[in-house]
Amino acid sequence: VDFSWAFAGPFIGAYLGDYGAQVIKVESHSRLDITRVTAPYKDGITGVNRSGCFLVVNNSKYGITLNLRHPRASEIIGKLIAWADVVVENFGAGVMERLGLGYDELKRIKPEMIMLSATIQGQTGPRSTFAGYGWNTVALTGIGNLTGWPDRSPVGTLQAYPDSVVPWFGVVAVLSALEYRRRTGRGQYIDVSQYETTCQFLAPLLLDYAAHHRVAMRAGNRCPYAAPHGVYRCRGEDRWCAISVFTETEWEAFCRVLGSPAWARDERFASLHGKKENEDELDRFVEQWTVNFTPEEVMSLMQQAGVPAGVVKTNKELFEDPQLTDQGFFQRVEHPEIGPCYQQAWPIKLSISPLNIRPAPCLGEHNEYVYTQVLGLSDQEFVEYLDQGVFE
C-alpha cells in the first residue's frame, strides 16, 4: 500500500509495480498528490490526470481515493493493511501516528507487516520533524553549494537529486525486509533518511575534510585528479562535448588526437599538478580545437583513441537515442485520459521476469475494482461507503 506522495516515496512503489508487485496508491480528493498539479501537462491542458510529473513516478499502480479523516475510514484501512505485505509512506515524522497509521497500530492488524517511512531527516534526532522536499535535501547536504562555478553563486541541480537516489535504497530495503520475513516470519520498520542517503554520494568530500580539513567548493566541471576535464564548445549552435583525461596514457592519446600541438609539450602541462595550476589556459587550448568539430566527431575521435568523451545531449536527442531505443528504455503505454505516452523503464533487465509497465492511474480510477475485488466489499457496501463520502 502506497501512502506516499511527491517523488521519492512514489518511485519506490512504481519500481516494485513494474516488476509485478500489486501496488495500491491511496489518495484523496481533498489532498491531491502535489505532482498531480505540477507541470508539464500533456498538450498543455491542465488536469489532475494529465501531469507528466505524476505519470513518471506512479506507473504500474492501482489508484484509489480514501478520506483518511472520515470516521469510517479505519474500517477500510484495516482491510487494506490485512491485505498488504508492505506499507510505504513519506509524510513528515509523526504524521502517520497522528492519523492512527503508525507502525505499532499497523502491527496490531498484521504482526508481520513491513513499513517503510522515507522522510527528509529520519524519524529520530533534533531535526526529525523537519519537513520538506528533495530540493531542501540538496541544500542540507551541501550539493547545492558544490554545483556551479567558483566565481558565481550556487546553482543547485536541475533535478532534485535525492528524489532519484532515495527510491533505490528504499527498494533494496523493502526487498531485504521481505527476504528476512520469508526466513523468520517477522516484519520490521524501515526508517529511510533522505539526508543520510544523499550523503552516501559525498563520501570522498567528507573523507577529505575528515583527513585534511579541506572545505569543498564549487569547481564547475573540473575534477581534482583529472585534466583536461570539462565540457567544451563544439561546432554548431550550443553544441558541446565532455572530455576527461585521467592518466598519462590518456593524455598522450589525447595529444595525438589533437595532432601533437606545440603547447602540449609545454613544461606547464608535463604533470597533473602543472595542468591543474594552468587549467584555464589548458581549457582554452582544448576548446580552440573542439570548436572545429561537431560533438559527435570529437567523441568519436577521442573514444577511438581511448580517451573518455561524450556528447552533451538535449532531451530530444536522448529520446531519439538509438542505444536507448534498442534497449527499450522508453516504454509506450496507453493512458485512459491523455492517450499514448512514454514511461522510462528500469535500467535493470531481468531475463526471466521482465518488467511490465502500466500507465499511472487516474484519480480514483480503480476504486470499484480494489474495494470489491481485492478487499472483498459487496456491491451494497461499496455504494454505502461511497454515498457516505469515505472514498472522497
The CA distance from 261 to 252, in Å, is 11
pTM: 0.93
Answer whether 156's CB lies under 8 Å from 135's CB. yes
170 phi and psi, to 5 degrees? Answer: -65, -45
List the strands of the sheet with 309-311, edge to edge.
229-233, 240-244, 309-311
Q: What is the pLDDT of residue 158?
A: 83
Q: Which residue has the cell 589533437?
A: 258
Q: What is the pLDDT of residue 52?
A: 96
Q: Which cell goes with 150?
A: 567558483
Superfamily of domain 8-200+324-387: Crotonobetainyl-coa:carnitine coa-transferase; domain 1 (3.40.50.10540)
Identity of residue 198: T
Q: Which cell goes with 59?
A: 506507473
The CA distance from 243 to 250, in Å, is 11
Alpha carbon distance, N-terminus to C-terminus of the chain: 18
Per DSSP, the residues of 185-240 read S---EEEEEHHHHHHGGGHHHHHHHHHH-PPP---TT-BTTBSSEEEEE-SSTT-E
Q: What is the pLDDT of residue 122?
A: 96
pLDDT tens across 60-114, in order?
999 999 999 999 999 999 999 999 999 999 999 999 999 999 999 999 999 999 9
The domain limits of the chain are 8-200+324-387, 240-311
DSSP H/E element including 279: helix 279-290
Chain CA centroid to CA 328, Å: 19
Indicate which residues carry an active-site annotation. 163
Residue 325 burial by Cβ neighbours in a 10 Å radius (0-12, 13-18, 19+): exposed
- Give the number of other CB atoms < 10 A from CB of residue 324: 15
The residue count for the chain: 392
CATH topology of domain 240-311: formyl-coa transferase, domain 3 (3.30.1540)
3-state secondary structure 112-176: CCEEEEEECCCCCCCCCCCCCCHHHHHHHCCHHHHCCCCCCCCCCCCCCHHHHHHHHHHHHHHHH
Q: Does a cis peptide bond (omega within 30 degrees of 0) precede residue 40?
A: yes
Q: What is the pLDDT of residue 224?
A: 93
Mean pLDDT, 10 residues at a time, the chain of 392 residues: 97 96 97 95 97 96 97 97 98 94 97 98 94 92 94 89 94 98 98 96 95 96 97 98 99 98 97 98 99 98 99 96 95 96 90 93 98 98 98 97
Answer whether 51's CB lies under 8 Å from 360's CB. no
> Of 136, 132, 126, 185, nearest to 156 (Cα)?
136
Enumerate residues 6+ apart whose C-beta is below 8 A from 387. none
